[in-house]
Structure 1
Amino acid sequence: MGGRGRIFGRVTAVALVASAVLTAPALADTHGTRALIRYTEHGIPHISAKSFDGLGYGYGFAAAKDNLCELANGYLTVDAKRSKYLGPGGSGNSALSGADSNLASDVHFQRINDSGVVESLLHQPRREVKEIVGGYVDGYNKYLKEHGTQDPACRDAGWVRPITDIDVYRHLYAIAGISGQGELVNGLVGAQPSGGVLPEDAAARISTALAEEGTIGSNGIAVGKAGTAAEQDSVLLGNPHFPWQGGRRFWQAQLTIPGRFNASGASLLGMPLIQIGHTRDTAWTHTFSTARTFGLFEVKLTPGDQLSYVVDGQPEKMSAQKVSVEVKQPDGSLATDTRTLYSTRYGPVITGVGDIPLPWTTTSAYTLRDGNATNLRALNSWFDLNQAQDVEDISKALKSTLGVPWVNTIATDRHGKALYSDVQVVPHVTDELADRCSTPLGRQLFQAAQVSVLDGSQGTCAWGSDADAVEPGLLGPGRLPHQIRDDYELNANDSPWLANAGAPLTGYPWIVGDTGTTRSPRTREALISTEEQLGEFTTASMKELLFGDRSRLALLAADAAAEVCGTGPACDALRSWDRTYTLESRGSLLFERFAMRLGPGPIWKVGFDPADPLHTPNTLDTQNPVVRKAFDDAVAELTAAGIPLDAKLGDHQSVTRNGKRIPMHSGPGQLGILNAMAPVWDPKAGNVDFVHGSSFIQVVGLSGKACPDTSTLMTYSQSADPTSPHFADQTELYSRGEWVRGRFCEGDILSSPELRIVALR
C-alpha cells in the first residue's frame, strides 16, 4: 500500500485569509500531500486524497485527534489487556461486549485472538478496504507519535500504544459480534461442567434479559417523490439512538477521492468508512433490527464423558482451547489467569444468558452459534454504500455482501425512490427447521424471543443454506424483507411488518420478526407523523418533525392522567400541556415519571386491532390499580426531589459538560418520542444526563440540484476529550434546537467561515 511506513512527516496547518479561500489549492496542487483535511464548523473534517490509502491516513489522524482515548480503549479491549493495566475488576468495555468485568472481557477476546479467526477472515475485505485500513493505522500512529493526548482519561497511560492493521480488524470484528457472542460473553468465558437444573422459567427470563439488552434504538424515515413537496425528490431522516459515552459513539467526516469516491456522514469510532450518510445521489441510515443474529444448540453428551457429544449416533470430542491472560494484582505485580474453554462443531459451550443458567450436566450442554462469527464482510458493505448512486445500488451492495451485521437499512435517492431493507446477517433458521428441531426450551424461547435452541444430536438440525447467500448457514437475501416505493419507508425498531402502513411486509421467517402485533408508541408516532405530511415533506419539515418532540403516548394517555390527578396546579398543567417534550413544557416530567411505571400490562380499554395498528391500543384504563399507583408514585417521587409537579422540563433535565449545565429537550423513546433520549434520573435533581439517545442526526434532501440539501447534528459533539473545543459545542446547539449546515460540495466547503486546512505529508 502506497506510503506505508512513511508516517512521521511534517504536519502543515494552512491558515487561509479571506481572499485565499476562493482559490484554495486543490489536492492535485498540494505537492507531496498524502491526505488533505479541510475542517469546517464544529471541527467536521472533509478528508481528500488521491488514493484509498490516503483517505484512511487522513481519517486515522483526524479521528485520533478527536477521540484518542476512546479509540485506544477499544484497542486495549480487543488486545485482551484490560486486566493487565486496569486490574481484573471494572466493568469491561460495554461498547464491545457485555462482559461484566475486565477479566471476563480479556478471556473472551484472548480466546478470539488465539483462535486466529480474524486472521482467517482477512481474505474477505476487498483490496481498497485493506488500503483504507492500512492508511488509517498510519494516520492514527502519526497523530499519537506527534501529539499524544491531553485527555485526562488516558493521559500518560501505559495502555495507549501504536496500533497495527490486525488491531483494526479485531475491533471491527468485535463490533460485528456485539449482538451475539459479544453480548453473551459472561456465559461463554466461565463455561465448565457444573451440573445443575435448567430453571422452569428459563425461557421467560432469557427473553426478558435479551429485551433489556435491546433498549437502544433508532429511527429512519425515507420519503420518496410521492411524499415530498415539489422542490425535492426525496428526504431522509437518519436518527440513530446510540450511547452518549464510550466507544460506540459516532464521529462525522467526509471522504473524497476527486472524481472517484465521495461520501459524507458518520461512523462508529474506528470504522474508517461512512456508515450513516449520503453521496451526491443517495442517502441512507440504519436502525437496529429485530432479527436475531445468534442461536443455541443443545448437545447430548457421551455417557461418562462430559467433553464428548453425539451427532447422528457418533461421538465427537469437544475441542479444548487453553486461554491465558495477564492480571494486575493489588500490589501491582502480574499474575496469569489460565482456563480451558470448549467448543463443538456448532460453536463454543455456553452456560448462561445473563444470570439465567444453562446447565452443563452429565447428559447435555448448550453451545452458541453466532451468525457474525465469520463476518468481516461488513467493511465491503459500507464501502459499496459509500459509492451508491441510487437505491438499486444500495440494494445490490446489501445483497451481494450480506455483511451488515445487525441493522435495517432505510434509504432514498435523487430519483425519488425510498427503500427499506432488512438484508443483513440472519441465521438460516426457518420456521420449518425450528418446528422440526427445537428442544423443549427452544420451543418456548423461539416463540418468546426468536432465539432458536436446536437439537444438536441430529446433523439435519444444523442451520440451513440458501443458494443466494454468500456462505452456508445464513438466510439468503431472497428470504429477507426488502421493499422500494415512491411514497415512504421507515423503521423505528419494530419488525419489518409496517415499514409502510399501506404495504405491509409479510412472509419472512419468524427469526426476522413478527407480523400483525402491537407497534411501539415510537413506531406509531413515526407512521402517523409521516402519513400526516405525505405530499408536503421538505428538509425543513422533517427537521421540525423530529425536534417537535411530540409524545405519542401522551396524546393517548395524558388526558386520562389528568383525570387521575384531579385538581390543582399539576392537574392544570397536564390538561394544558401540548404533549411535547420541549424545554418550556410544563407537566411533561410528571407524565414521564408516571408513564415509565406503567409497564407492558393490560392498561388499555381498547386492545390492539391488527386492522387498525396505528391507532390501537388506546384509552387508558384509569380504574386499573396499576395506573393509579403509577401516578401516585410519580407524584411522590417529584415531591421528594423538591421538583414542582408543573415544573418546566428544561429546569430539571440537563447534561453538564466542563462544569456548565446545558438544559435538554426530549424524553424516553417509550413515550413515543422520535427524538428519543434515555435520561439518568437523580432522585434529588431530576434528569441529569443521558445514557443513550439521538446521536448523529442527518436530514438529507435530494433533487435535481448538484448539492444535497443536508443538515446534521452530533448531539454529544465530535470529541470525547474535555480539553477539545468540540467537546460540547454541538450539544449546546442541540439544546437550542439548532442544526449544522451540511457542506458537501467544494463551494460549500471552501466558503465555510471557519475553514482550516491541514496537509498531511
Structure 2
Amino acid sequence: MSESRTLTKRHRYSVRGRLGAAAAALCLASVTAAFLPTASSAATGPAGETLSEGGRTAQISRTAYGIPHILARDFDGLGYGYGYAFAQDNVCELADQVVTLRGERSRYFGPDGERGEGVNLASDTYYKGQRRAGTVQQLLDRRAPLGPTAELRRMVQGYAAGYNRYLRETGVGRLPDARCAGKPWVRPVTALDLWSVVYDVSGVTGAVPLAPDIGDAKPPTADGDATARAAAFSAPGGQGPAADDFGSNGWALGRDATRTGNAMVLANPHLPWVGGALRFYQVQLTIPGTLDVSGAGLYGTPLVLIGHNKDLAWTHTASDARHTSTYALKLVAGDPTSYVVDGRTERMKRRTVPITVRDADGRVKTVERTLYTSGFGPVLSSGWTTRTAYAVRDANADNLRSMNTWLAMGKAHSLDQLRTAQDTYQGIPWTYTLAADTSGATYFTDSSAVPHLTDAQLERCTRPGGEDGPDALDGSTTACAWGSDPDALVPGLYGPSHQPKLTRTDYVANSNNGPQYTNPEAPLTGLPGVYDIDPRLAPRPQLGLDMIARRADGTDGLGAPGFTGRTLRSSAFGNRVLSAETGRDDVVALCRAHPLLETTDGKETDVRQACAALARWDTRADTDSRGAALWTTFYDHILRGGPSDTWHRVPYDPAQPLTTPRGINGDDARVRHALADAVQDLAARDLPVDTALGTVQKWAGIPLPGCNGNKGCFNVVDAGPEAGTGTPTEGAFGSSFLMAVELTPDGPRAHTLLTYGQSANPTSPHYTDQTRLFSRKQWVTERFTAAEIASDPDLKVTMLRD
C-alpha cells in the first residue's frame, strides 16, 4: 500500500512560530524518524547483491525555488524520493529521453526529426541496435567496480519506482505539462531505461552525437554514394568528434587565495538549456551517517554530479582530450563490407534491427535496418566509399562506472578520498575534475576515459582526410590500435599513473583549455599529446586566469586582495568581455578614421553612430550594456571568415600565452567589412546600434547577460530574442548550474543558481524563477543543514511510503 503525506504551510508556520528554526528541525527530524522504517524487505540481484523489493520510504523537503532535499534511511528510499521529485518537475523530459533510448521515436513521431529527413529513423536504428545487442544489460551483469555497486542498483530501482508512482498517481491524461499530457509515449520506466540514460551521458562526446551517422551507415555501390559529413569531425589526429557543444568554468581556490583561509569552489558549467539529455536538476541527497551531498545532476541520472558535502566540494569542466578515435578502414576491392588489418581480411559484423515507423497518415509499419560494426567500433555513413570506410572507437563504450565514481566522490571527505574514488572506479567519462577540501588544498585532474595513444602513434598513424572523410588513424594495422596501462581498469585506456594531476594551496582553474595552464605558476607539461591537443589558450580561459590574478592583487575593483564568498560571486557575474577590453579601442580608432565602410557585398555604410556607441560602451555584457550587442555581432562576422591571426594587432606568441593574441588590426579588410556588416545586420532587424544586450538575448522574455566564450566572455550565454518561448529559435546555451561554496570549519556556505529553473514545463513557477535572478545577478542561498531547511519560509514536506 502506498502512502504520501504533505505538511501544509499552516502547520509549518505554527511549528516554527512556537519553537524556532532549530527546534523545528528537531521536530521535523522526529516526525521523519517515526515515518521511516529501519529496514526494507529484500531479494538477491543478478550479481548476488541485496536489492530492495518493497517498503521504500522517503521524505522530500522542498525549499525556495522548488529545490528538493531527499532524506531516506537507505538507497532504495533515496532513489524513490528522488525519482518522485524529479517526475513532479520534469516528467515529460525523462519520458522523451526514454523514447529515444528505446529506439521508438519513429513509432511515435515519424521517421523525420527536427534536424532533418530520416533523423528519427537513423537514431532509432542506433538505439534499438544497442537494446537488441544487450549492450547496457551486459554491463549491468558485471560486478563492481566495472558494473554498478549494490547501493547504486538499489537507488536506480527506487528512482524508477518513484517516477512511476508519480505517473500512476497523477495519470498520464492529467499531467501538468501539456507537452506530454495524454500522450501515448509517456509510459512507466524501468531500471534498464535509467541505466541507458547513464550510458548515454557517458557517450555524449563519443558515439552519441554520431548516432544518426551510425544508424544510417550502408555500403556504397559506387564512390558517388559516399555521404560526405567530414565537417562533423573537427578534432585533429583522428581523435573523433570534438565536444564543441559543451563548456564550463571551474575554479578551486585554496587557503592561499582566500582572505578567510577557507577553500572555495566555483562551478559554472555551460550546457544546452533545451532538451532533457544535458540539463541539470538541483537536489540534496541524504542518508544519515552514509551520504549527505548537495548540488546538481543531469536529468535522469540518480546522483549529484557537481556539488559538495560538509568537507569537500568539486566541479567539472569538459576535458580538452578526445575520448574517441576515428579509424580509416582499408576496404577489400569489390567488397565494401570487408577490410584489411595486418594483411588479413576482416568482415564487418551486421545486426538487423526492426524499427516501427509511423507515416504521415498515422499508419504503422515495420522496416528492417542494418548496423555495421568493425573491430575498431561502429561504421559510419560519412565517407563510406568502395575504398574506405570510417569507424569510431569510444573510450566510454563500456562505461557504467561513472555512477560508482560519483557516489564515492559524494561520500568522500578529503581530496585523498576523492582521488581514491576516481582511481578505484575510473569512471569519469569526459571531464576534468577541480576540487577542494577543508584542509585548504585544491586538486585538478583529468581522470576521464582517454584512449592510450602515444605521440609516436599519432604522428605515424594519422592520415589526412579529404572531401569524403575526416582525419583518421590508419585502421589497416594493429600498430595504430590503442595500447594500455597496467593500472588501467579497462584495457585500451590511460591509467591514473599517466593522468594529469596538480595539487595546490593557491588555486587550480580551467575553462576548457588543456591542462597545461591549470595554474601558470606550475605548468603541467610532458603529458601524452592526446591529453593536450592545443596548448594555446582561447579568450575565455585567458580571461578566467586574469580574473583570478586581479583578485589576488586587488586590482579588479572588488576591494582588498583575496577571495571572499562575496567577491567570488561578484567575479562570476562581472560579465567582462576580454575581446572588447583588448580590441574595442582599436575598432573605435578605425571607425573614427573611416566613417564610411563597405560591407562584404560592397555596400557603403555609415558607421559613425556605431562608432559613438562603441566608444561609450563599458565593455561589459550586462543586460543593460549598450554596445555589447553591436560588438558580439561584429565579432561573429570576423569569426565567420575562419580562425586567423591576421586580424589581431598582436599575434599569438608562445612566450606570452596568457595575453596573446590580442587587439584588432583596423587595416585588415575582414575587420572593416565585419563592422559594416554588423551595422547592416542590426538595421535589418530594426535595432539601433546601441540597443541593450538584453533586448536581443532573452529566455522566455527575460533579458540575459553574458555572451559567447569565443568573444572572451566568462559568463557564457548564447540565446536569441525568442529563446524559451516555444518558437523555432527557442534554443539557448551557456551558464546552467552555478555554485559558489566556501568550506568553513562550521560547515559549507554555498550559493547556487540554476539559470533555467528546476522545471522544463513552461507553465511551472520554477520554469523562469531563477532565470529572473540570473538576469539581476542574484544567487540562491543554499540550505544544507536540517535547521536551515526547516527555517525556509517556503518549505513543503512530502512523506512517501511504498
Q: Same fold (TM over 0.5)?
A: yes
Q: Which residue in the other structure is 1:476 paired with?
A: 495
Q: Which amino acid letter does the alignment assign opposite residue 712 of structure 2?
A: G
Cα distance between partner residues in 1 of 2:299 and 2:228: 39
Structure 2 residue 130 is the aligned partner of structure 1 residue 112: yes
Query: Once the 2 structures are TM-superposed, how far is the Cα of residue 495 of structure 1 from its aligned partner?
Result: 1.1
Query: Once the 2 structures are TM-superposed, how far is the Cα of residue 577 of structure 1 from its aligned partner?
Result: 1.8
Q: Which residue in the other structure is 2:384 paired with?
A: 359
Residue correspondence of structure 1 range 717-728 to structure 2 within 5 A: 717-728=757-768
Query: Once the 2 structures are TM-superposed, how far is the Cα of residue 88 of structure 1 from its aligned partner?
Result: 0.8
SS at match of 2:275: coil
Q: Which amino acid letter does the alignment assign opposite residue 309 of structure 2?
A: T
Q: Which amino acid letter does the alignment assign opposite residue 132 of structure 1?
A: M
- Structure 2 runs not aligned, ≥5 long: 17-23, 38-55, 553-560, 596-607
- Cα deviation per residue 1:536-583 (whole Å; 9 max; x = unaligned)? 101110110111111111101111122233275543332232211112
Query: Once the 2 structures are TM-superposed, how far is the Cα of residue 651 of structure 1 from its aligned partner?
Result: 3.6
Tell me if the contact between 1:40 and 1:752 (Cα under 8 Å) persists in the aligned partners: yes
Q: Decide whether aligned partners of structure 1 residues 681 and 431 sit closer, same or farther in structure 2, where only a CA change above 3 A counts.
A: farther
Structure 2 residue 779 is the aligned partner of structure 1 residue 747: no
Select the residue among 333, 345, 364 that pairs with 2:375: 345
Q: Percent of aligned positions with the same letter in both sequences?
A: 40
Q: Decide whether aligned partners of structure 1 residues 212 and 592 sit closer, same or farther in structure 2, where only a CA change above 3 A counts.
A: farther
Q: Decide whether aligned partners of structure 1 residues 608 and 99 sit closer, same or farther in structure 2, where only a CA change above 3 A counts.
A: farther
Q: Which residue in the other structure is 2:551 paired with?
A: 533
Cα distance between partner residues in 2 of 1:503 and 1:415: 20
- Cα deviation per residue 1:192-215 (whole Å; 9 max; x = unaligned)? 221427999987774289888604
Cα distance between partner residues in 1 of 2:711 and 2:349: 48
The number of aligned residues is 730
Q: Decide whether aligned partners of structure 1 residues 609 and 751 sit closer, same or farther in structure 2, where only a CA change above 3 A counts.
A: same
SS at match of 1:463: coil
Q: Which residue in the other structure is 1:77 paired with?
A: 100
Select the residue among 24, 37, 44 that pairs with 2:27: 24
Residue correspondence of structure 1 range 169-318 to structure 2 within 5 A: 169-194=195-220, 195-196=222-223, 206-207=233-234, 214-229=244-259, 231-247=260-276, 248-318=278-348
Structure 2 residue 472 is the aligned partner of structure 1 residue 453: yes
Q: Which residue in the other structure is 1:95 paired with?
A: none
Q: Which residue in the other structure is 1:662 paired with?
A: 702
SS at match of 1:107: helix
Q: Which residue in the other structure is 2:416 paired with?
A: 392
- Cα deviation per residue 1:179-228 (whole Å; 9 max; x = unaligned)? 11111123211222214279999877742898886043111011101100
Over aligned residues, Cα RMSD in angstroms? Answer: 2.6
Q: Which residue in the other structure is 1:561 paired with?
A: 587
Of 638-647 and 750-759, deviating more is 638-647
Residue correspondence of structure 1 range 316-331 to structure 2 within 5 A: 316-331=346-361
Q: Which residue in the other structure is 2:401 paired with?
A: 377
Cα distance between partner residues in 2 of 1:302 and 1:584: 62
Tell me if the contact between 1:596 and 1:670 (Cα under 8 Å) persists in the aligned partners: no
- Cα deviation per residue 1:242-267 (whole Å; 9 max; x = unaligned)? 11111121100000011210100001
Q: Which residue in the other structure is 1:621 paired with?
A: 665
Q: Which amino acid letter does the alignment assign opposite residue 83 of structure 1?
A: S
Q: Which amino acid letter does the alignment assign opposite residue 743 of structure 2?
A: L
Query: Once the 2 structures are TM-superposed, how far is the Cα of residue 741 of structure 1 from its aligned partner?
Result: 0.5
Cα distance between partner residues in 1 of 2:550 and 2:227: 47
- Cα deviation per residue 1:692-717 (whole Å; 9 max; x = unaligned)? 11111100011212x21100001111
Q: Which residue in the other structure is 2:647 paired with?
A: 603
- Cα deviation per residue 1:47-77 (whole Å; 9 max; x = unaligned)? 0000011110000000010000001000111
Structure 2 residue 202 is the aligned partner of structure 1 residue 145: no
Select the residue among 404, 429, 439 that pairs with 2:428: 404
Query: Once the 2 structures are TM-superposed, how far is the Cα of residue 14 of structure 1 from its aligned partner?
Result: 4.8
Cα distance between partner residues in 2 of 1:298 and 1:351: 12
Tell me if the contact between 1:654 and 1:687 (Cα under 8 Å) persists in the aligned partners: no
Select the residue among 686, 698, 715 that pairs with 2:739: 698
SS at match of 1:207: coil
Tell me if the contact between 1:14 and 1:758 (Cα under 8 Å) persists in the aligned partners: no
Tell me if the contact between 1:287 and 1:492 (Cα under 8 Å) persists in the aligned partners: yes
Q: Which amino acid letter does the alignment assign opposite residue 385 of structure 2?
A: W
Q: Which residue in the other structure is 2:572 paired with?
A: 546
Cα distance between partner residues in 2 of 1:270 and 1:488: 32
SS at match of 2:188: coil
Cα distance between partner residues in 2 of 1:14 and 1:681: 39
Tell me if the contact between 1:288 and 1:406 (Cα under 8 Å) persists in the aligned partners: yes
Cα distance between partner residues in 2 of 1:213 and 1:475: 20
Cα distance between partner residues in 1 of 2:480 and 2:543: 41
Q: Which amino acid letter does the alignment assign opposite residue 176 of structure 2?
A: Q
Q: Decide whether aligned partners of structure 1 residues 687 and 331 sit closer, same or farther in structure 2, where only a CA change above 3 A counts.
A: closer
Cα distance between partner residues in 1 of 2:118 and 2:107: 16
Q: Which amino acid letter does the alignment assign opposite residue 101 of structure 2?
A: V
Q: Decide whether aligned partners of structure 1 residues 211 and 553 sit closer, same or farther in structure 2, where only a CA change above 3 A counts.
A: farther
SS at match of 1:628: helix
Q: Decide whether aligned partners of structure 1 residues 201 and 511 sit closer, same or farther in structure 2, where only a CA change above 3 A counts.
A: farther
Tell me if the contact between 2:58 and 2:71 (Cα under 8 Å) persists in the aligned partners: yes
Tell me if the contact between 2:70 and 2:81 (Cα under 8 Å) persists in the aligned partners: yes
Tell me if the contact between 1:99 and 1:185 (Cα under 8 Å) persists in the aligned partners: no
Q: Which residue in the other structure is 1:738 paired with?
A: 778
Tell me if the contact between 2:245 and 2:271 (Cα under 8 Å) persists in the aligned partners: no
Tell me if the contact between 1:434 and 1:452 (Cα under 8 Å) persists in the aligned partners: no
Cα distance between partner residues in 2 of 1:244 and 1:675: 14
Of 629-638 and 389-398, deviating more is 389-398
Cα distance between partner residues in 2 of 1:623 and 1:267: 48
Cα distance between partner residues in 2 of 1:655 and 1:625: 35
- Structure 1 runs not aligned, ≥5 long: 1-5, 93-97, 353-357, 446-450
Cα distance between partner residues in 2 of 1:106 and 1:202: 20
Cα distance between partner residues in 2 of 1:439 and 1:649: 45
- Cα deviation per residue 1:469-521 (whole Å; 9 max; x = unaligned)? 1111111122221111111111111111111111111122222223542x111
Of 549-558 and 613-622, deviating more is 613-622
Cα distance between partner residues in 2 of 1:329 and 1:183: 25
Q: Which amino acid letter does the alignment assign opposite residue 508 of structure 2?
A: E
SS at match of 1:227: coil
Q: Which amino acid letter does the alignment assign opposite residue 237 of structure 1?
A: L
Q: Which amino acid letter does the alignment assign opposite residue 292 of structure 1?
A: R
Of 114-123 and 332-341, deviating more is 332-341
Tell me if the contact between 1:418 and 1:486 (Cα under 8 Å) persists in the aligned partners: yes
Q: Decide whether aligned partners of structure 1 residues 316 and 204 sit closer, same or farther in structure 2, where only a CA change above 3 A counts.
A: closer
Cα distance between partner residues in 2 of 1:688 and 1:663: 15
Q: Which amino acid letter does the alignment assign opposite residue 597 of structure 1?
A: H
Tell me if the contact between 2:68 and 2:282 (Cα under 8 Å) persists in the aligned partners: yes
Query: Once the 2 structures are TM-superposed, how far is the Cα of residue 38 of structure 1 from its aligned partner?
Result: 0.8
Cα distance between partner residues in 2 of 1:681 and 1:437: 47
Residue correspondence of structure 1 range 462-501 to structure 2 within 5 A: 462-501=481-520
Query: Once the 2 structures are TM-superposed, how far is the Cα of residue 623 of structure 1 from its aligned partner?
Result: 0.7
SS at match of 2:316: strand
Q: Which amino acid letter does the alignment assign opposite residue 264 of structure 2?
A: V
Q: Decide whether aligned partners of structure 1 residues 515 and 244 sit closer, same or farther in structure 2, where only a CA change above 3 A counts.
A: closer
Tell me if the contact between 1:351 and 1:360 (Cα under 8 Å) persists in the aligned partners: no
Cα distance between partner residues in 1 of 2:389 and 2:330: 7
Tell me if the contact between 1:506 and 1:515 (Cα under 8 Å) persists in the aligned partners: no
Tell me if the contact between 1:437 and 1:461 (Cα under 8 Å) persists in the aligned partners: yes
Q: Which residue in the other structure is 1:126 paired with?
A: 149
Structure 2 residue 83 is the aligned partner of structure 1 residue 56: no
Q: Which amino acid letter does the alignment assign opposite residue 34 of structure 2?
A: D
Query: Once the 2 structures are TM-superposed, how far is the Cα of residue 318 of structure 1 from its aligned partner?
Result: 2.3
Tell me if the contact between 2:226 and 2:381 (Cα under 8 Å) persists in the aligned partners: no
Tell me if the contact between 1:312 and 1:457 (Cα under 8 Å) persists in the aligned partners: yes
SS at match of 2:545: helix
Q: Which residue in the other structure is 1:637 paired with?
A: 681
Q: Which residue in the other structure is 1:355 paired with?
A: none
Tell me if the contact between 2:583 and 2:663 (Cα under 8 Å) persists in the aligned partners: yes
Tell me if the contact between 1:224 and 1:487 (Cα under 8 Å) persists in the aligned partners: yes
Cα distance between partner residues in 2 of 1:205 and 1:49: 45
